[in-house]
């Protein structure tokens, strides 16, 4: 498993460009004697099928494959050979764990209650259409029809050896907005000649705070952030436009609707109050990741047997990051877990150039997925 | 003149209630042998006519009569006998000066180039309809038709012995607005149930700053102030409404229009951006007081002869207080002057409970009006 | 039980004035043969003791006694006889349920695993010091020492027959703030003479939105609301001060600290940026009500036996109202429940003048408390 | 004169790079038989001296020499041959007029009351140190000592044939500020991890409006504008810093001080209220250009004789652009005029790529300067 992981890590690839990674996964599946088929369009994902004579429920184990545009600064012997690209989000670990689970399960193929599918998905980091949707549209949940899907993500906030689980909202919907605020260009000494786009944009940023403070239920997790604001070239010329880009995070579909409506109204009203115009691009990203109760409980029971009660940590609050594993859970039940990789020294956070999870997590992660698959097949019905 | 002034000062009367003051003015005019007629509706003003055989131009000298709801704290022997009412804006001085001018002019009636009218006007402090408009509607500028009108106001910012004059905008238009911001009443722990009127009102106050900073020409005097904000009864209940009251000051008619439009748009846009409603009452007060160049120059030349060049001070910037003398100047030319009453010690400001202008100003003010009248009649044509 | 409740309802008394209510409770306890002692200072609460030979764990059942300054508009035959005072928060029901539980338990006194204390507490609605603190300081949790405490509140958002429970944060800490923003009084046409208190106060209201939007963890429930804003007397005078009152709701002690620090910094910074001064009164109200897991689970198990699984509703999110039952839970374990009174027609909300919970809730509430007491005593150890 | 102007226009040079322009000026002066000396450091300005036997007052006529980084889009036969550089602010005209005045005056050298100096100054558009200061430090106002200085600027807002004059504030002080707002970089879904620089910067922009609305006297011209705001790279990452650049325009030295103090306090207070830090660069640009009364009146009288009363237009309000002619007026009296070049068709504004003033202005401008010089020398004493 270490070798697999090192190979993935050394040649990281950005979203939609997972060509070499794909070849390595296919090679590993071949070694394991597991047939694999491509799925999706363009740079495709892979579906492996660990079959079994029993016609029990089908469980899919999913890994994501892409890396990030980050310059690696770890001291790992197998650190990235591709300047500016790095597996800083642990997808190398995720793939290795699914392969490891396949290895474990293939040794006990007889014990399997039904087929196990292995989903290797590109472009999870892409954020908008993502990679799960093309996989699903390409039929990864069909032939044989998948009954449950299980995924996991490394979590440096959770100690190594711990597994985080939760029922209900687990990760957020992440929606994108771009606001192009149009005023009138002119000399800074004659502001009366037209709406001031810098002021209008600034008032919008300030005004958007009220979405989180007044519009949503205070107990319902919501973030509205503006990450980028750009306008103007020099101190004494008022620019024609200022462009804002930001994100809205929610964990409930009705709150997601509410926030989009409120944002549009807020932005338009503020701009209109100054006579400025504003173009709004509002793009839905991944839906919220909501773990269903029954499948999650079945997985947790199996993991308690495998690792002991104390290894399981109930996560009380969702993370407001996004994850397109949520697309699978919109179609079939299952659960998404957090794989503890933290606790020794000061573990670097996800997306950090020094992120280097402990290799001991590979075996734990593989065993987690294998136990989850077996547990779901046994507990079924 | 001191006796007149003391009598006025001792019995101050609020706007529209100038009953005793009126009797005293009528008595003084009788003593001077000047016929007087009431003009206006309700508590009326007085028009005295100092006639002359010559059919030259008619000059009107105007004084305002009302006092303020202020508790006097001066040590004057003739201080207010009416608790809570005080001549703190110098209208007692203004009336005395017009009477004093009438006394001076009546001694030299032969020298007069035409009739001189004496206008005693109530309700200048009222702020909305005022007292000048009813006087004009009642015919104070007719029979005989007035050619010029002259008024003055005591100015504690100008040393005693100085006379302030200016061409163009001299005092402001003062418009009133009341904004009733409607949200939804509810418990403070569930703000999501409806628009927060306190927040909407606060954003409006903040947002109105942009009228003075961005909407008007930076060289064109404008004030937008909110003087009063009220809503709510306790910390943990969100109120249904918050009421704001404020004033808009401008010195140019087109800016006045511009500001009203901009205020309405600003207020409606901000409220709408939060889903709140807002009721707007916008009431025009007195128009800007604009001194016309020719009549003003004629008066200044006469005053230079009377008092010497050094007594005349050109006022570069308008005061943004309001004065319904502007109503007369909308009908006939003339000028409005400032009568210096400051300079000795630390003179209290207008509307202060300790305002007590030097009595020496009475003679100066009377001579100023007399010289202005004579000058306008001579310079005419 | 109906008679008790009607008697309480008919003579409601405000916080700290529960004299007649106290007499009625004492009379009812006498009828039940339960000895009672006063506890606290001033208008005191009552502690009844339902003793038993067994030396098992002591469970206290708590009811609050005070009513609200609301004009009742129900059609109940026993509606308030005291104009402007009403049991609109169900404390009449709470007292009746504790008495009812005492009646039930006294019939089966042999079955009791230990003594049961009955706490009747005044001044729950008072909000600052409250009534629980004086009860505790007066020794209500001692002699015999209380091991568990159980309370409940009627909930019109939960159907009749349902019981709401939850582990962890269940109700909020409610802290009060009063901000006195000092500017400089003056005429509205000369704002340059000093800081504008109306603007500073408005910017503070706007600025406080960032506490909920940026300062707290987006998954951690927080409300910061300004319920009241007052300053100024008229449109054209800038007032010397504006007073804001508001509330901060949190459910975690560390968030409570964080928010107070952030509010103080925010308010001071904004005021200073305009040269205004601000006086801050920040008063801690009741602490957050946090249900401990073990005692809560023990109660839930007992209630499932009594009422069936389907009667129990796990509450996922805290209410951000405050309740000084939290003071008891700071000292001993136990749990606070919600007693469903909603569902038939459109039930009026708490604090509404037409709030009239179904009488069927009385028996359910009494049985709930009795079962909880028995369950805690059995499950102990 | 047309040839001179065409030569200047065709080879425009940016501030501090006026090498070819300088050669052309020297050549023209040589042709006129006027001795010239360089003055200043680096790329120097030129001082020509039109001497006379009479020892009367010395008048300096000043022209600025630099062009702007603008792509010319006129159809002039002599349009810019240097891509991206253009005489879009009329400095070509200004130089030509000073040369033209020298030509006129040299023909009537006997009539001169004293020597006339010709100042050709680089780097007027530079905005910070400018070109006037090095000229003055280099001695351009000494040997012989200059008694009066006269300059002018083309004005497309004034019809051709009109000359604009004014006493008192005529152009603004232009000060530059750069605010570097520091927050904490992080993921947009966890804003609680540190101050949000985008929000802090936006609040600063909004908050700066109060300088113009509340801090300054409403009759005193002030502009505070933010022309540029930049921070962040994408929607879901909060940036570490946002940089604002803006300008403060004032016409009175005490207001200039006041605004800088108020801006610093405002910016620091707002940033501190969010826990953000802010770096403030505040750089004084040119001082306000204030025309002194006596010299201005002397020039106006001379121009009335030369062009007739109707050609003279009193400018009531300052322009809030900046001009380092103000540096000379800090040392010696004089006046700055506006040379009408507007009125035919829709004249393009200054700094426009199609700015093309009527050539008829060259003669008028030359005659204006010549008449001003003669008038000042005659009127002196």
Q: What is the pLDDT of residues D34-62, one digit of tens each?
A: 999 999 877 689 999 999 888 899 999 99
Distances from the Cα of D162 to the Cαs of C200, C265, D323, in angstroms? 47, 57, 21
DSSP state of A86: B
Give ∠ CA D239-D245-D248 in degrees, rounded to 5. Answer: 145
How confident is residue B214, by pLDDT bands cut at 50, 70 and 90?
Answer: very high
How confident is residue D351, by pLDDT bands cut at 50, 70 and 90?
Answer: confident
Report the complex ipTM: 0.88
Of D192, D207, D214, the CB nearest to C214: D192
Domain coverage including residue A53: 2-172+288-379
What average pLDDT does chain A have? Answer: 94
Q: What distance in Å separates the CA atoms of residue C178 and residue C37, rounded to the nearest whole number?
A: 38
Residue D9, min C-alpha distance to chain B (Å): 33
- Which residue in D has a C-alpha nearest to residue A239's C-alpha? D227
pLDDT reported for residue C347:
57
Q: What distance in Å separates the CA atoms of residue C218 and residue C101, rounded to the nearest whole number?
A: 41
- Which residue in D has a C-alpha nearest to residue A352's C-alpha? D186
Instruction: Classify residue B41 by burial, with Cβ atoms within 10 Å: 0-12, 13-18, 19+.
Output: exposed
Distances from the Cα of D268 to the Cαs of C206, D181, D263, D325, in angstroms? 18, 10, 8, 34
Q: What distance in Å separates the CA atoms of residue B368 and residue B348, rounded to the nearest whole number?
A: 23
Q: What distance in Å separates the CA atoms of residue B346 and residue B344, rounded to the nearest whole number?
A: 6
CB contact under 8 Å between C210 and A210, yes or no, is no
What average pLDDT does chain D have? Answer: 94
How confident is residue B42, by pLDDT bands cut at 50, 70 and 90?
Answer: confident
How confident is residue B4, by pLDDT bands cut at 50, 70 and 90?
Answer: very high
Q: What distance in Å separates the CA atoms of residue C80 and residue C22, rounded to the nearest whole number?
A: 17
Catalytic residue among B240, B245, B304, B359: B359
Of C190, C273, C275, the CB nearest to D270: C273
Structure tokens at D274: 């969010």
Q: Do the Cβ atoms of B375 and B297 come closer than 8 Å?
A: no
pLDDT reported for residue C345:
61
Chain D CB contacts of B209 under 8 Å are 209-210, 212-214
Give residue for tokens 């300062």. C215
Chain A CB contacts of C213 under 8 Å are 208-213, 224
Distances from the Cα of C110 to the Cαs of C16, C52, C115, in angstroms? 37, 7, 11
For C244-268, the pLDDT digits (tens) are 999 999 999 999 999 999 999 999 9
Of B196, B218, B266, the CB nearest to A214: B196
CB contact under 8 Å between B269 and A274, yes or no, is yes
Q: What distance in Å separates the CA atoms of residue A366 and residue C171, rounded to the nearest whole number?
A: 41
Q: What distance in Å separates the CA atoms of residue B325 and residue B318, rounded to the nearest whole number?
A: 14
D236/D89 same-domain check = no
A130/A257 same-domain check = no
pLDDT reported for residue A285:
94
pLDDT reported for residue A195:
96
Of B192, B216, B270, the CB nearest to A192: B216
What average pLDDT does chain B have? Answer: 94
Q: What distance in Å separates the CA atoms of residue D252 and residue D234, rounded to the nearest whole number?
A: 43
C202 touches B at CB < 8 Å: yes
CB contact under 8 Å between B192 and A218, yes or no, is yes
C246 touches B at CB < 8 Å: yes
For A128-169, the pLDDT digits (tens) are 899 999 999 999 999 899 999 999 999 998 999 999 999 999
Instruction: Classify residue B264 by burial, with Cβ atoms within 10 Å: 0-12, 13-18, 19+.
Output: middle
- Which residue in C has a C-alpha nearest to residue D238's C-alpha? C214
Residue C218, min C-alpha distance to chain A (Å): 5
Q: What distance in Å separates the CA atoms of residue A80 and residue A9, rounded to the nearest whole number?
A: 6
Q: What are the residues whose beta carbons fall under 8 Å from the beta carbon of B308, sequence distance 6 or more?
A: none
Chain A CB contacts of B269 under 8 Å are 269-274
SS3 state of residue A187: strand
Test mutation, A192, A202, A213, chain B, max B CBs within 10 A: A192
Does the structure show a pLDDT above 60 at D347?
Answer: no
Chain B CB contacts of D206 under 8 Å are 206
Rounded to whole angstroms, the maximal C-alpha distance in chain C is: 81
Q: What distance in Å separates the CA atoms of residue A273 and residue B288, rounded to the nearest whole number?
A: 27
Q: What would the mean pLDDT of D295-314 be, rounded to a whole number?
A: 96
C249 touches A at CB < 8 Å: yes
For A175-204, the pLDDT digits (tens) are 999 999 999 998 899 999 999 999 999 999
- Which residue in D has a C-alpha nearest to residue C215's C-alpha? D192
Q: What strand order describes the sheet that includes C36-39?
A: C36-39, C45-50, C116-121, C59-64, C148-159, C334-342, C163-165, C312-314
Q: What would the mean pLDDT of A257-266 be, rounded to a whole number?
A: 98
A168 touches C at CB < 8 Å: yes
Q: What would the mean pLDDT of D311-316 be, rounded to a whole number?
A: 93
D53/D145 same-domain check = yes
Give residue for tokens 């933290």. A342
Residue A257, preceding bond cis, omega within 30 degrees?
no
Q: What would the mean pLDDT of B360-374 be, rounded to a whole number?
A: 96
Distances from the Cα of A234 to the Cαs of A110, A116, B190, D130, in angstroms? 72, 61, 44, 17
Does the structure show a pLDDT above 90 at C274?
Answer: yes
Strands C36-39 and C45-50: antiparallel
Does the structure show a pLDDT above 90 at B98?
Answer: yes
Residue A240, min C-alpha distance to chain C (Å): 27
How confident is residue B111, by pLDDT bands cut at 50, 70 and 90?
Answer: confident
Residue D26, min C-alpha distance to chain A (Å): 34
Catalytic residue among D72, D125, D286, D328: D286
Chain A CB contacts of C208 under 8 Å are 213
For D125-151, the pLDDT digits (tens) are 988 899 999 999 999 999 899 999 999
Domain boundary among B283, B313, B340: B283
For B221-263, the pLDDT digits (tens) are 999 999 999 999 989 989 999 999 999 999 999 999 999 999 9
Backbone angles phi, psi at B270, to 5 degrees: -65, -45
Q: Do the Cβ atoms of B242 and B230 come closer than 8 Å?
A: yes
Active site residue D282: no
Does the structure show a pLDDT above 80 at A290?
Answer: yes
Q: What are the residues whose beta carbons fall under 8 Å from the beta carbon of B297, sequence distance 6 or more?
A: B167
How confident is residue D18, by pLDDT bands cut at 50, 70 and 90?
Answer: very high
C315/C252 same-domain check = no
For A203-239, the pLDDT digits (tens) are 999 999 999 999 999 999 999 999 999 999 989 999 9
Q: What are the residues whose beta carbons fall under 8 Å from the beta carbon of C137, sequence distance 6 or more?
A: C40
SS3 state of residue D216: coil
D271 touches C at CB < 8 Å: yes
CB contact under 8 Å between B230 and C232, yes or no, is yes
CATH number of the domain where residue A196 is located: 3.30.70.360
SS3 state of residue A276: coil
Neighbours of chain B (3+ CB pairs under 8 A): A, C, D
Structure tokens at B317: 């910037």
CB contact under 8 Å between A212 and C218, yes or no, is yes
Question: How many beta carbons lie within 10 A of that of residue D227, not counting itself?
Answer: 22
Q: What would the mean pLDDT of C77-93 be, rounded to a whole number?
A: 94
DSSP state of B126: G
Distances from the Cα of B274 to the Cαs of A207, B178, B196, B200, in angstroms? 9, 19, 8, 7
% of residues, chain D, pLDDT over 70: 98
Q: Do the Cβ atoms of B94 and B38 come closer than 8 Å?
A: no
B174 touches C at CB < 8 Å: yes
Chain C CB contacts of D273 under 8 Å are 207, 265-270, 273
% of residues, chain C, pLDDT over 70: 98
Residue C371, min C-alpha distance to chain B (Å): 32
DSSP state letters, B14-54: -TT--HHHHHHHHHHHHHHT--EEEESSSS-EEEEEE--S-
Of B192, B215, B216, the CB nearest to A214: B192
A201/A275 same-domain check = yes
How much is the pTM? Answer: 0.92
The A residues from 206 to 225 touching C (CB cutoff 8 Å) are 206, 208-214, 217-224
Strands B168-171 and B289-291: antiparallel
CA dihedral of residues A363, A369, A375, A380 (deg, nearest 10): -170
Q: What is the CA radius of gyration of chain C?
A: 23
% of residues, chain B, pLDDT over 70: 98
A142/A117 same-domain check = yes
B70/B30 same-domain check = yes
- Which residue in B has a C-alpha nearest to residue C242's C-alpha? B229
pLDDT reported for residue A380:
61
Does the structure show a pLDDT above 70 at B189?
Answer: yes
Of A187, A227, A232, the CB nearest to D234: A227
CB contact under 8 Å between A219 and C168, yes or no, is no
Catalytic residue among D126, D240, D245, D359: D359
Q: How far apart are the first and last CA of chain D?
A: 34
Q: What are the residues whose beta carbons fall under 8 Å from the beta carbon of A112, sequence distance 6 or more?
A: A50, A52, A54, A56, A105, A373, A374, A377
Active site residue D148: no
Does the structure show a pLDDT above 90 at B353?
Answer: no
B261/B319 same-domain check = no
Strands C116-121 and C277-283: unpaired
Does the structure show a pLDDT above 70 at B344?
Answer: no
CB contact under 8 Å between B223 and C187, yes or no, is no
Q: What distance in Å separates the CA atoms of residue C172 and residue A111, rounded to the nearest whole number?
A: 50
B272 touches A at CB < 8 Å: yes
D83 touches A at CB < 8 Å: no
D30/D159 same-domain check = yes
pLDDT reported for residue B350:
86
CB contact under 8 Å between C206 and A206, yes or no, is yes
pLDDT reported for residue D352:
84
D205 touches A at CB < 8 Å: yes
What average pLDDT does chain C have? Answer: 94
Of B203, B234, B242, the CB nearest to C245: B234
Domain boundary among D217, D249, D283: D283
For C139-191, the pLDDT digits (tens) are 999 989 999 999 999 999 899 999 999 999 999 999 999 999 999 998 899 99
pLDDT reported for residue D19:
94
Q: What are the residues whose beta carbons fall under 8 Å from the beta carbon of D309, sequence distance 6 or more?
A: none
HSE, side-chain direction, 13 A CA sphere, residue A356: 16
Q: What distance in Å separates the CA atoms of residue A364 and residue A367, rounded to the nearest whole number?
A: 5
Domain boundary among D283, D314, D337: D283
Of C178, C188, C246, the CB nearest to B227: C188
Residue B200, min C-alpha distance to chain D (Å): 16
What number of residues does chain B have?
381
Q: What distance in Å separates the CA atoms of residue B303 and residue B371, rounded to the nearest whole number?
A: 6
D306/D279 same-domain check = no
CATH number of the domain where residue B40 is located: 3.40.630.10
B236 touches C at CB < 8 Å: yes
How many domains, in total, are found in chain B?
Answer: 2
- Nearest alpha-carbon partner for B239 in D147, C229, C338: C229
A294/A279 same-domain check = no
CB contact under 8 Å between D214 and C203, yes or no, is no
DSSP state of B140: T
How confident is residue C79, by pLDDT bands cut at 50, 70 and 90?
Answer: very high
A87/A150 same-domain check = yes
Q: What would the mean pLDDT of C11-36 be, rounded to a whole number?
A: 96
């Amino acid at each position: 498993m270490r070798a697999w992981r090192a190979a993935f890590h050394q040649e990281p690839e950005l979203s939609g460009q997972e060509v070499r990674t794909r070849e390595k996964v296919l090679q590993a599946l071949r070694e394991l004697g597991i047939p694999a088929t491509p799925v999706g369009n363009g740079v495709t994902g892979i579906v492996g099928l660990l079959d079994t004579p029993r016609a029990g429920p089908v469980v899919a184990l999913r890994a994501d494959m892409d890396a990030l545009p980050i310059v690696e600064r770890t001291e790992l012997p197998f650190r990235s050979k591709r300047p500016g690209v790095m597996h800083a989000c642990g997808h190398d670990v995720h793939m290795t764990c699914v392969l490891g689970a396949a290895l474990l399960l293939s040794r006990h193929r007889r014990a399997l209650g039904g087929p196990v599918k292995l989903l290797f998905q590109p472009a999870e980091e892409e954020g908008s259409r993502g990679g799960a949707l093309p996989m699903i549209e390409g039929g990864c949940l069909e032939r044989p029809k998948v009954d449950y899907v299980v995924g996991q993500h490394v979590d440096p906030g959770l100690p190594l050896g711990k597994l985080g689980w939760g029922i209900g909202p687990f990760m957020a919907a992440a929606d994108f907005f771009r606001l192009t605020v149009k005023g009138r260009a002119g000399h800074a000494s004659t502001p009366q000649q037209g709406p001031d786009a810098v002021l209008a944009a600034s008032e919008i940023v300030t005004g958007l705070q009220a979405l989180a403070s007044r519009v949503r239920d205070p107990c319902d997790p919501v973030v509205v952030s503006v990450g980028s604001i750009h306008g103007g070239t020099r101190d004494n010329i008022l620019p024609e436009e200022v462009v804002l880009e930001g994100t809205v995070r929610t964990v409930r579909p009705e709150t997601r609707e509410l926030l989009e409506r409120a944002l549009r109204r807020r932005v338009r009203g503020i701009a209109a109050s100054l006579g400025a115009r504003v173009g709004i691009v509002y793009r839905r990203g991944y839906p919220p990741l909501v773990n269903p109760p029954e499948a999650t409980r079945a997985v947790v029971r199996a993991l308690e047997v495998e690792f002991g009660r104390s290894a399981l940590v109930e996560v009380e609050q969702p993370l407001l990051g996004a994850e397109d594993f949520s697309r699978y859970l919109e179609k079939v039940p299952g659960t998404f877990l957090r794989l503890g990789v933290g606790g020794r020294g000061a573990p670097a956070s996800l997306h950090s150039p020094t992120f280097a999870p402990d290799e001991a997590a590979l075996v734990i992660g593989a065993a987690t997925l294998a136990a989850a698959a077996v547990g779901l097949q046994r507990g079924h019905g």
